[in-house]
Amino acid sequence: MDILAIKDYLHNFRGTVLNEDIPTHLKSLKAIEVSQNNQSAAKEIWCIEQVYKVIRGYLSAFRNLQEKKHFDAWLAFDRTDIELSFLRKHLDFQDNNFHLPFYDKMIFQYQKLFPYQYFMSREMIVKRASCSICGATVSLRRPCGHRIGEIYNGEQCGRIIQDAEFLAIAIVTNPFDKYTVLFPQGMEYNYSMLDTLLTQISGPYDDWNLDFLKERKKEFIGVGRNQLCPCNSGKKYKMCCHGTDNELFDHHRITVQTSTPRNNIPMFSVHTWK
Ligand SMILES: [Zn+2]
Ligand SMILES: [Zn+2]
């Protein structure tokens, strides 16, 4: 397969299992470009390798969801999200042919439906790091000339941590590392939103939308402005919760856009848990 055929394949892919030979093809095509010092061609192949990783990661996350391996699915979505963010620096998402905005949107939406609330956050000081391209030990004072995230010879530059000091581990709700989910003892996460969604769609390429809405709580519906406030404050409704967040609750609305007509209800709503 040449590069055009691979690009075409990835652009049109709508299956569930990717051709596993593509990474090997890309690797040898890249080696040829690198040997001729064609930096921009090597970088383009790196981008296509990333596209492949994104599609493969997304499919594997979806498969895990189907098999109700929720935490594995979470990890795969997180990993894929990271690969996508590497790619974003080098490829215009609006102007390419791989439907990357679709993967971006779906990964974000699936992640939003996970019930995880507690994560670990590591605080550490990196004492020594080396460059993934040239191997030199680098610091702010002694840069090696390679920039993090840039592509050299078709490889992305990163830092390899050689030595670090851990200061603390904190429990947080909005983590930098999404894989650090905590599973507190005696607490079961509820995956019903994901499981319900999976019964409504037929595959990873079914499109659906997630809207974040505020709706009025049941006890506040139809209350007159001069009646007592349903919150039991003893005040009039208009002087109390009227028009405030108190009378609203968060609501996720999922709208499934199936290409094929279905017998079951195409729209459903599930409340968030808190
Ligand atoms: Zn370097
Ligand atoms: Zn009130």
Give 73's pLDDT tier (boundaries 50, 70, 90).
very high
Residue 265 is predicted with a pLDDT of 39
The answer to whether the CB of 268 falls within 8 A of the CB of 252 is no
Residue 274 is predicted with a pLDDT of 31
Measured CA distances, 222 to 9, 29, 219, 231, 238 (Å): 56, 68, 8, 14, 13
How much of the chain exceeds pLDDT 90, in percent? 66
Residue position matching structure tokens 């192949």: 45
Residue 1 is predicted with a pLDDT of 85
pTM to 2 decimal places: 0.83
Q: Which ligand is nearest to the CA of 129?
A: 1
Give 237's pLDDT tier (boundaries 50, 70, 90).
very high
Most confident region among 7-21, 87-101, 112-126, 250-264 by mean pLDDT = 7-21
Sheet strands (E) in 182-245: 207-216
Residue type, 86: F
Ranges 68-77, 155-164, 231-240, 263-272: which has the least confidence: 263-272
Residues with CB under 5 A from ligand 1 (ion): 131, 133-134, 144, 146
Give 52's pLDDT tier (boundaries 50, 70, 90).
very high
Q: Which ligand is nearest to the CA of 160?
A: 1
Local structure of residue 228 (DSSP, 8 states) = B
Average pLDDT over residues 8-26: 95
- Residue 273 pLDDT > 70, yes or no? no
129 CA → ligand 1 middle, Å: 11
Local structure of residue 154 (DSSP, 8 states) = T
Sheet hosting strand 248-257, strand order edge to edge: 207-216, 248-257, 267-271
pLDDT digits (tens, 9 = 90+) for 99-131: 999 999 999 999 999 999 888 888 888 889 999
131 CA → ligand 1 middle, Å: 5
Q: Which ligand is nearest to the CA of 153?
A: 1
Sheet strands (E) in 115-261: 119-131, 137-138, 151-152, 155-156, 159-172, 207-216, 248-257
**The tokens of 183 are what?**
């599973």
Residue position matching structure tokens 């019930």: 115
Measured CA distances, 2 to 7, 15, 36, 241 (Å): 9, 21, 17, 65
239 CA → ligand 2 middle, Å: 8
- Residue 90 pLDDT > 90, yes or no? yes
**The tokens of 172 are what?**
């947080």
pLDDT digits (tens, 9 = 90+) for 172-206: 888 888 888 988 888 889 999 899 999 999 899 99
**The tokens of 117 are what?**
């609330």
Q: Which ligand is nearest to the CA of 144?
A: 1
pLDDT digits (tens, 9 = 90+) for 135-151: 999 987 889 999 999 99
Most confident region among 61-75, 211-225, 236-250 by mean pLDDT = 61-75
Residue 167 is predicted with a pLDDT of 86
173 CA → ligand 2 middle, Å: 29
- Residue 227 pLDDT > 50, yes or no? yes
Residue 259 is predicted with a pLDDT of 54
Q: Can you name the residues that pair with 111 across neighbouring β-strands?
A: none
How much of the chain exceeds pLDDT 70, in percent? 93
Residue 258 is predicted with a pLDDT of 63
Mean pLDDT of all residues belonging to the chain = 89
Whole-angstrom distance, CA of residue 45 vs CA of residue 26: 7
Residue 188 is predicted with a pLDDT of 86
Residue 18 is predicted with a pLDDT of 96
